[in-house]
């Protein structure tokens, strides 16, 4: 029994426990998560998506092995015990190759899963719900499940060959919110029907049996469903437990399985506790973490403008705007409306497409300039109170250093604190 299955066993025995899934590749987010998990002495689940990390590098430029190695190097830097770390792969399937015929897309998806498992990713979300170039839309449940089983077989063979045992745990499910948040209004958001959840479970179990993977079923630890949570550019669909009561009961007859809830970003703290109580025990968060990073850096830039002449300032926001306008691929098809509306969305949307621009060299230089400017002199407490009031209180209490980078990391950690309070 690995750490994840042990945690889920505790949940199924009636203990109020869950786990936060940190879905981000930003180094400050990952560092904040490690530092917080070290302090709290808790398991840390970090996941990479098939868009971020794949055999060709994804949009981060990292392969699964690269991402694994980067996390271990960071763990060493911050004195975090790697034994507390669990790596997961999210939306692994033909997602990146939907423009290709299904046979070719699935061959590439097999390589993807193999590389993730070989790199030590212990938790794999098998997501074959998307139609490829020669597929009908939508795909029948049976086709989705058969393709997931095909990828699971690859994962099992790789785990046996690489580690001498089949140790991977799996998450299945096709009712996945749009990655990174919804593009339209949320007035039609619906909770997954109990019958749809049961149909997904049955289809996958049968497909695994047909692949000769009967013994894999106890290691299928999660089912992705829609509990009624989502966010758009400027709106949030709040969790309403009463609407998910029947769905919650569906999973109670599966002793090894909980629900995995995607797009739980920006919920109220009490909603996270209600989600865990309703067996949505794996809570995925991503954009809210880099949204908090942006909040902190913009707040620090406001402090910088109060302290220094304009020509000496970092102009971080201006550098980000220039980077986004120079290369609009990460936001153009998502943000619509007038120029004013698009400008607002580029910087403040809940979907946080801005996160794709932090690696830009000029943006990185602006961040470095901002930190240097602020750390060249003591930060005035009144300005810290104005722009980062929660961090101000911790500085005043002697719990946090008035260092610009430490303040930003702590603001990111505020998001993780809400999740941790619900999961433990």
> Is-contact 48 89, C-beta < 8 A?
yes
> CA–CA distance from 206 to each of 45, 254, 365 (Å)?
29, 15, 53
| Angle of CA points 31, 32, 35, to nearest 5° | 85
Strand-strand pairing, 258-261 and 282-285: parallel
**130 is written with which tokens?**
């998307």
Tokens 């092995």 belong to 65
Neighbours of 13 (CB within 10 A): 9
- Residue 215, judged by CB atoms within 10 A of its CB (0-12, 13-18, 19+), counts as exposed
**Residues 298, 304, 305, 310, CA torsion sign:** negative
Q: Specify the DSSP element, H or E, that contains 146.
A: helix 141-163
> CA–CA distance from 337 to each of 118, 313, 341, 344 (Å)?
45, 31, 6, 10
pLDDT, residue 386, reads 98
Cis before residue 138, ω within 30 degrees of 0?
yes
CA–CA dist 8, 21 (Å, integer): 14
CA–CA dist 248, 262 (Å, integer): 15
> CA–CA distance from 163 to each of 122, 138, 156, 259 (Å)?
11, 37, 10, 28
> Is-contact 304 366, C-beta < 8 A?
no
For residues 26-47, b (16+ Cβ closer than 10 Å) or e, as one string? Answer: bebbbbbbbbbbbeeebbbbbb
pLDDT, residue 137, reads 94
Please measure the distance between the N-terminal and C-terminal CA atoms of the chain and give it in whole angstroms. Answer: 20
Q: If you ran DSSP here, which 8-state letter would residue 121 be given?
A: -
pLDDT, residue 77, reads 98
pLDDT in tens, the chain (424 residues): 689 999 999 999 999 999 999 999 999 999 999 999 999 999 999 999 999 999 999 999 999 999 999 999 999 999 999 999 999 999 999 999 999 999 999 999 999 999 999 999 999 999 999 999 999 999 999 999 999 999 999 999 999 999 999 999 999 997 654 444 444 555 558 899 999 999 999 999 999 999 999 999 999 999 999 999 999 999 999 999 999 999 999 999 999 999 999 999 999 999 999 999 999 999 999 999 999 999 999 999 999 999 999 999 999 999 999 999 999 999 999 999 999 999 999 999 999 999 999 999 999 999 999 999 999 999 999 999 999 999 999 999 999 999 999 999 999 999 999 999 999 8
Tokens 């790596």 belong to 87
Using DSSP, state whether 151 is helix, strand or coil: helix
CA–CA dist 72, 36 (Å, integer): 16
**318 is written with which tokens?**
């201006």
pLDDT, residue 248, reads 97
> CA–CA distance from 284 to each of 264, 276, 281 (Å)?
6, 12, 10
**169 is written with which tokens?**
């745990």
> Is-contact 179 353, C-beta < 8 A?
no
**74 is written with which tokens?**
């960071």
């Amino acid at each position: 029994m690995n750490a994840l299955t042990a945690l889920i066993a505790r949940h199924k025995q009636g203990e109020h426990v869950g786990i936060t899934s940190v879905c981000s590749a930003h180094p400050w987010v990952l560092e904040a998560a490690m530092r917080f998990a070290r302090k709290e002495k808790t398991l840390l689940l970090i996941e990479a998506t098939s868009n971020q990390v794949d055999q060709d590098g994804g949009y981060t430029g990292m392969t699964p092995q690269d991402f694994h190695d980067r996390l271990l190097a960071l763990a060493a830097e911050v004195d975090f015990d790697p034994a507390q770390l669990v790596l997961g792969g999210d939306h692994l399937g033909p997602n990146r190759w939907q423009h290709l015929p299904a046979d070719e897309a699935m061959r590439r998806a097999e390589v993807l899963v193999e590389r993730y498992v070989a790199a030590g990713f212990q938790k794999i979300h098998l997501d074959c719900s998307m139609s490829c170039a020669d597929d009908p839309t939508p795909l029948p449940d049976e086709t989705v499940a058969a393709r997931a089983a095909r990828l699971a077989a690859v994962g099992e063979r790789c785990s046996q060959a690489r580690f001498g045992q089949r140790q991977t745990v799996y998450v299945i499910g096709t009712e996945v919110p749009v990655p990174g948040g919804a593009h339209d209004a949320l007035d039609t958001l619906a909770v997954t029907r109990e019958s749809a959840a049961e149909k997904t479970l049955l289809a996958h179990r049968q497909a695994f049996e047909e692949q000769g993977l009967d013994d894999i079923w106890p290691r299928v630890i999660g089912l992705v469903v829609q509990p009624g949570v989502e966010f758009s550019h400027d709106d949030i669909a709040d969790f309403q437990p009463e609407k998910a009561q029947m769905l919650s009961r569906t999973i109670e007859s599966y002793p090894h399985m909980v629900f995995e809830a995607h797009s739980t970003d920006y919920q109220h703290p009490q909603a996270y506790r209600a989600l865990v109580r309703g067996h949505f025990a794996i809570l995925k968060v991503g954009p809210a973490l880099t949204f908090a990073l942006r909040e902190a850096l913009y707040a620090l830039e406001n402090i910088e403008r109060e302290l220094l002449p304009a020509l000496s300032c970092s102009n971080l926001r201006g550098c980000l705007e220039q980077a986004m306008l120079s290369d609009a691929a990460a936001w153009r098809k998502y943000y619509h409306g007038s120029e004013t509306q698009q400008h607002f969305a580029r910087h403040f949307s809940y979907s946080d497409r801005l996160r794709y621009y932090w690696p830009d060299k000029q943006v990185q230089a602006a961040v470095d300039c901002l930190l240097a400017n602020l750390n060249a002199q003591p930060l005035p407490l009144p300005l810290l109170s104005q722009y980062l009031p929660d961090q101000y209180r911790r500085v005043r209490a002697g719990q946090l250093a008035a260092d610009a980078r430490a303040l930003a990391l702590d603001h990111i950690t505020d998001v993780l604190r809400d999740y941790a309070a619900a999961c433990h």
